[in-house]
Amino acid sequence: MTDLSLDGISLLLVWTAIATYVLAFAAYTIDLAQRSAASTVPARSVVVAGPNRSDLQGSEPHQSSGRTGGPPRRMWARIGTSLTVLALLFHLGGTLGRGIAAERVPWANMYEFALTGTLLIVAVYLVVLRLYDLRFLGAFLLGMTVLLLGGATLGFYVEVAPLMDPLKSVWLVIHVFVASLATALFALACGVSVTQLMQGRRERLLAADAAGNAARKGPRFLRTIPSAETLETLAYRFTIVGFMFWSFTLIAGAIWANDSWGRYWGFDVKEVWTFVIWVLYAGYIHARATRGWRGARSAWLSIVGFAAVLFNFTIVNIYFPGLHSYSGLT
Amino acid sequence: MSRSRSDSRTTSDPLRPSDHAETDTAVEVTNPSLSVTGWLRWGWTQLTSMRTALLLLLLLAIAAIPGSLFPQRSADPNGVVQWRRNNPEMFPLADGLGLFDVYISPWFSAIHLLLFLSLIGCVIPRAKHHYVALRSRPPRTPSRLSRLPAHRELVVAADAERAIVSASDMLRRSGYRVERYDQRGSFSVSAERGYLRESGNLVFHVALVGVLVSVAVGGSFAFTGQRVVVEGTTFVNALSDYSSFNPGRFVDGTGLVPYSLTLDDFRVAYRLPGTPGAGQAENFDAQITVRQPGEEDTATSVRVNHPITVANDRIYLLGNGYAPTLTVRNGDGDIVFSESQPFLPQDSNMTSLGIIKIPDGLPKQVGLVGFFYPTQGTLPSGAFTSIYPDVVDPVLTFNVFSGDLGIDDGTPRSVYTLDVSGLNQETGGDSEVDSLELRPGDTVDLPNGWGSVTWEIAEEQQPVKRFASLQIQQDPSSGGVLLFSVIAMVGLFAGLFVPRRRVWVKARVDEGLVRIEYAGLARGDDPTLQRAIDELARRHSTSVDAHDTSAAAIDHSHDPSERNPS
Ligand code: HEM
């Protein structure tokens, strides 16, 4: 096979996407730095949109009609978003190319899981941007995307190979895709929860220090993003959608296992971790309805939940032998 | 707004739908009287509190993890043997802690039973409460609607009472339950919707119990059995014909339906050398004839991911391999063994290990430990290996052992293993006699003039037969588990996404104008509350022909976070 095989082109596109993500990451980082530097604009008005919307639902046109007279244009954030869209196109091209080269869905081994999973993270982020101004998360999400996608391309890349028999199933298409979608939402929720923790800390410090100036209250860009409470609500919304998908993944996986291995549940390593993650997020949902667990504690649960998702995808796939040994690595 | 405000708002606001997540009973009974029932009640209240449920959930997540770090007897028995070999000192301790049977260990069972006890104790009072809520009227309209989280005020030129009647109709049509509360000088309608949220939540939790009960009940009527079937041979569905059989508690194997399965042909394709995934096997296909008493024979095929169902038994294809046909003769030329013996694959190129035990007919009891190489290659060490899984250049080798095979003492021994420790090695190893080596059709002599071994060619094109290993099982729990899982999903969806809210519309005559207030309050997360109130105000006001007086001045809708001082 020459380098100009479809798979080779796909790989080239993936690297182009990674490079573009790095640029987008840089742009978002500059945006965060600028948010920190800008000092005069009252924090709220930057993101508070029309009077009837929650303070995250600002889209660009609304903001420019804001009451405080010309909030910052966030040029670097816009550049970041544009670059992200561009990178996503390369990424999509690379993923589709891989699928066409393999003549099947492009999510059947570790490299391809990473390819499709990160694609969905970015796509979900861009979709959500249309509803909420989450560009302060751009640096976090793209940084993670670059690490995961770059790491997978360096470490997990394998040439196109035919599917093993157990993978030839409609459930590969459904189960794995929905799991990736859930992962994308959990990633988003995790990013929001991290921000929520930082914001919550800042709010506590501010409340303690009424003068509110001298001491350091964490990164200054926090002044330009919504309150911890709003962030918490948002993280919750992403999580419950992700949780629906994850529940579906669990059930679909059981149906597949029942066809493939002759039992719907056998506490295989991967099944255990899928279950653990499900229970952790059920815990998160409960925490938000439990006195004393709202706020920071539930945010930690969201972060732990996503850590488990990443662990499941990386360490478990590579180092834990089990029936799900489809990483494609030897 | 501080978080504490949101907490108090959600837990103690009298106007908020009171089927809220956290009931206050947990705090009410914090000082148990010293009587036994007092303590029991206290314990029960603790157990069914939201905080306990949460802690038990987190505990369950943590407790499940060791099962992924240690091999489990149920999923990976060989892994347990291996672990024991590697850590002989630690093994008794780890085993004592149940680390190899995590999911049936006392501590894991305790956690999940407590969790479900807590769940039941939680669901029953909530179901009662919800039942009452379902039949009660929407609450009285609060006097100061402007304090509610979603609020809008408009001035219209219309009759106040007529406006409320139309608002009431409008709300009813959008699925609200409505109630009029009129006072002197003001008319109002109180409306409530989203009972389905709590219903969904309850259905979800009850369905989880359903899943657990299905597993427990169905599992005791389940069985799983395995059997290796060589091409051309027949498996009869009777206990004695299984090579392994795991029955549930209420199954003894006497109720098996009589049918038989003949493996007519086993097909598998291997990727050719030089193509991507070379040597990878695919399209496994066991062609089977099913015979049932009183029915015509049916030819069918069992493939990976496509089990077949015979008389409620599900039949799966789990594995495959080669079964060379061998004949052993004694020194006089009498046949003492003639069978197609399954050789179990040891690697992805199908290097396979097979055992032949000949207890009678030779001067001593003889065991043959054989290796089958479908395509023979040679390692740098000189040892044989298989370099391709299909039969291209097949070779069989045997080491011959003699002595007491341990067959006569009654202890059951697997036909696939031979304990050679007490035996005398006649060929290979240190015996200074070469191992036997055969190609299809060959006959070679056993050592000491004991006789000979012949590899019979099965067919012209296919010198070696294949075998399929089948799993035959019945699991009556799976239907219930699936059903309750799907119900749980539906309940989950309703419980998470149906907005539960109260809405009020109040009209007041004020200096000849009619002021209409629209307000809403949610239970739980409700991203569309404000939008719903705005939409209601817009539709209603246009329908009563209102004119929105200078929105900036009177539009009092607000978002709590907007006034955040940070
Ligand atoms: C097997 C154990 C349990 C699991 C897996 C579980 C899971 C869940 C899930 C996924 C939700 C969100 C679904 C929905 O709102 O419809 C939820 C909500 C809820 N659960 Fe559980 N639960 C369990 C046990 C319990 C127990 C023991 C209690 C009572 C103490 C409880 C009380 C609640 C309540 C009140 C909510 C509503 C939370 C809210 O409105 O945000 N659950 N549970």
Note the pLDDT of residue A2: 46
Percentage of chain B surpassing pLDDT 70? 89
**More confident call, B175 vs A47:** B175
**Predicted confidence (pLDDT) per residue in B30-64, tens digit:** 555 678 888 888 888 888 888 999 999 999 999 99
Low-confidence ranges of chain A (pLDDT < 50): 1-2, 40-55, 57-70
Q: Which of A63-67, B10-14, B77-81, B234-238 has the lowest mean pLDDT?
A: A63-67
Where would I find the beta strands (DSSP E) of B122-243? 150-156, 177-180, 186-193, 223-230, 234-236
Q: Which of A107-111, B73-77, B496-500 has the lowest mean pLDDT?
A: B73-77
**CA dist., res. B455 & res. B439, Å (int):** 7
Residue A231 CB-density burial (10 A; 0-12 exposed, 13-18 middle, 19+ buried): buried
Quick one: fold of B145-194+499-556?
A: Double Stranded RNA Binding Domain (3.30.160)
State the average pLDDT for chain B.
85
Interface of B with A in 394-423 (CB under 8 A): none
- CB-ligand 1 contact for A285 (6 Å cutoff): yes
For the residues of A48-94, what is the DSSP string, one character each?
--STTS-TT---HHHHHT-TTS-----HHHHHHHHHHHHHHHHHHHH
How close is the nearest chain A Cα to the Cα of B488, in Å?
Answer: 9
Q: Which of A206-215, B75-84, B316-325 has the lowest mean pLDDT?
A: A206-215
Note the pLDDT of residue A50: 29
**Binary contact (A54, B74; C-beta < 8 A):** no
Note the pLDDT of residue B355: 92
pLDDT of residue B560 exceeding 70: no
Residue B57 CA: nearest ligand 1 atom is: 2
Nearest to B280 among A162, A226, A273 (CB): A162
How close is the nearest chain A Cα to the Cα of B435, in Å?
Answer: 33
pLDDT of residue B564 exceeding 60: no
Inter-chain CB pairs, A–B, below 8 Å: 184
Confidence band of B416 (pLDDT split at 50, 70, 90): confident
Note the pLDDT of residue B253: 83
**CA dist., res. B540 & res. B163, Å (int):** 8
- CB-ligand 1 contact for B321 (6 Å cutoff): no
What is the 8-class DSSP label of residue A167?
G
Residue found by looking up tokens 């391709």 in the block: B388
Cβ atoms < 10 Å from Cβ of A286: 22
**CA dist., res. A98 & res. A94, Å (int):** 6
**CA dist., res. A174 & res. B516, Å (int):** 50
- Where exactly are the structural domains of chain B? 36-130, 145-194+499-556, 219-322+469-484, 323-465
Asked if B281 reaches chain A (Cβ–Cβ under 8 Å), the answer is: yes
Mutation pick from A258, A302, A304 vs chain B, by most beta carbons of B within 10 Å, is A258
- Where exactly are the structural domains of chain A? 1-36+47-52+74-108+122-162, 164-330
Complex ipTM, two decimals?
0.88
Using alpha carbons only, give the angle B382, B386, B391 rounded to the nearest 5 degrees.
Answer: 135
B436's enclosing H/E stretch is: strand B436-438
Predicted TM-score (pTM) of this structure: 0.86
